[in-house]
Every structure is written in C-alpha cells, then in structure tokens.
Amino acid sequence: MMDRFPHLAQRLFNVPLAVLPEKAEVAMAALADRLGIARLFRADGDAVVLAGNDAIGAFMGGASEPREPRGYDVVAGVAVIEVQGLLVQKLGTLRPACGMTGYDGIRANLLAALVDPEVRAIVLDLDSPGGEVAGCFDLADTIFAARGSKPIWGICAESAYSAAYALASACDRITVPRTGGVGSIGVITMLVDMSKALAAGGVTVHFVYYGEQKAEASRAELTGMSKGVLERVQASVDRAGDLFVDTVARNRGLAPAAVRATEAACFDGELGVAAGLADAVMAPDEAFRALLAELDAA
C-alpha cells in the first residue's frame, strides 16, 4: 500500500470530493492505482470496443448501433447501467469493479444505450455514497442533455448520495426505497497535516518552487496549514458546492436556495420525496415494473 500512497493522496487529499465523510477512509483503501487508465476494459481484461471517439461518434449519430459485448444488461428493452460503490473519474471498466464505478464506464454505457436499437429506456441502478468531483458534473450534464431521447430513470437500489445523487438528479425520474436515501448535496476536502509527525521524527522537508501558490497544499501538508491555504481551499470547496447546488436545482426544477438549505443532509425514503429530491418511494423491482408499464402505455 505504501508504494501506492502518492497516487492515492493525489486523488483523495487536497481535492474536492462529493462523498459521504464516513466513506472517506474506505476510499483510501479502495482507489489504488486503478485510476488514470486511458482505455476501458471489461472485467475479463479484454479491451472495450465502444470508448473514446467511438462513444462520442455513437452519441452524435456516427454509429448505427453499439457493438457487443455491452457493459449493461437489457431487460425487457431497458438498459440497466450499474452505479455502485465509490464513484471515480476513471476506473477503466464498463461495470463496477473492486467496490467502485467509473464515470468513464457510465458515460460509455449511456452513450451506447442511447443508440442501441434494442433499448427503449435507460435505468441507472444506483447504490453509492458518492465519490470524486472530477468528472461528476460533466457526466451529469451529459445525462441531462440526453433527456427526451429515451426515458432515463434513476432507481435507487438503496441510496444515492452526494456525487451519485448529482447523477441521479439528471434523470427524468428518481425512485428511492423506504429504507434508502438521497441527498448529501455537499463537498468535502480532506487536508492532512503531517508537520508534527515529521518534526517528531526529525524530518525536515525543504521545497524549492516557482510561483507562490505552487503546490501550496502539498507544502502545507508537510510544513503546517496557514490561514491563507485554508481560505483558498475553502474557496475551492465553495465553488464546487455552488456548482453542485446549481446542477441539482436545474435538474430537479428547484430553487437554488431550497437546494442549498438542505445543508448536505441525507433524506430517507419519503423525506427525500418531500424535499423534492426524489419522485416516489418504491422498491427497485416495483420501480422497474412502473417504468415498463409507462413504456407499454406510450
């Protein structure tokens, strides 16, 4: 694990995260070196055929149909895309792996399903505490822009919090079970101050840098947090938080003030509906049957 720590630190510390705070330590152990993969792979290690320019071309009408194998299941004409566990910008697989789901995989699956002639509607099968801010809101915009092409439902298999809720909010309809939840519309950054531990160990770190704010968060981690660093990090978190609020307000047709007033709270079942963050309290199978009924009635 120690040889992977610099990579983990780059993803987890000093950057905004849209994740439940209690899941942060789990994320530290889980992310490892799976991030930053340029190509997408299936769980068996084979390269994915629909990625990058192919996926973009499909979304723009450049491909007549997706190529097998798909990264989603088609059930009664509905593409079911899994959104499970910690959400990361790049995982490199079309399906969840090692307790994580990549925005890259979700995007590729969504774009493929939109042009798949076998697919009448799309479901995001959600059960996630959230994850990285990086890539989240671009994907939410893509989902939102796809509204009207095919019905897109966010069905919470249990809960959709933080970054997962940002994605869910972009869907046409959101359902949540009685014991599940939605919300946590907030952003968190973990700043680690190792200065005292280093001093106690007799270690002094000297930085040589150009530009006063160059790597200041990393310098603060090792030499102590200054008020200026904390203020700039807070400003960055605030900008990400405002983007989150504005995105949910647009997606759900809510006033930004109402979304901000949730104060990043999590809402169980019917409370999420009452807050305007979900549309119905339904078990996942009940929600799926409701979508099929709507499709058959159309």
User: Which residue numbers are catalytic?
Assistant: 162, 214
**Is the Cα torsion angle 117, 118, 123, 126 positive or negative in sign?**
negative
Contact 17, 131 (CB under 8 A): yes
Which residue's entry shows tokens 């566990």?
A: 85
Torsion of CA 103, 107, 109, 111, to 10 degrees: 180
- CB atoms under 10 Å from CB of 128, counted, come to 31
3-state secondary structure of 10: helix
- CB atoms under 10 Å from CB of 28, counted, come to 17
Write the DSSP symbol of residue 4. Answer: G
CA 157/CA 160 separation, integer angstroms: 9
3-state secondary structure of 33: coil
Contact 174, 143 (CB under 8 A): no
66: left (phi over 0), alpha (psi -120 to 50) or beta: beta
What phi, psi does 216 have (nearest 5°)? -65, -30
Contact 34, 132 (CB under 8 A): no
3-state secondary structure of 148: coil
Contact 141, 107 (CB under 8 A): no
Q: Which of 22, 32, 24 is nearest to 2 (CA)?
A: 32
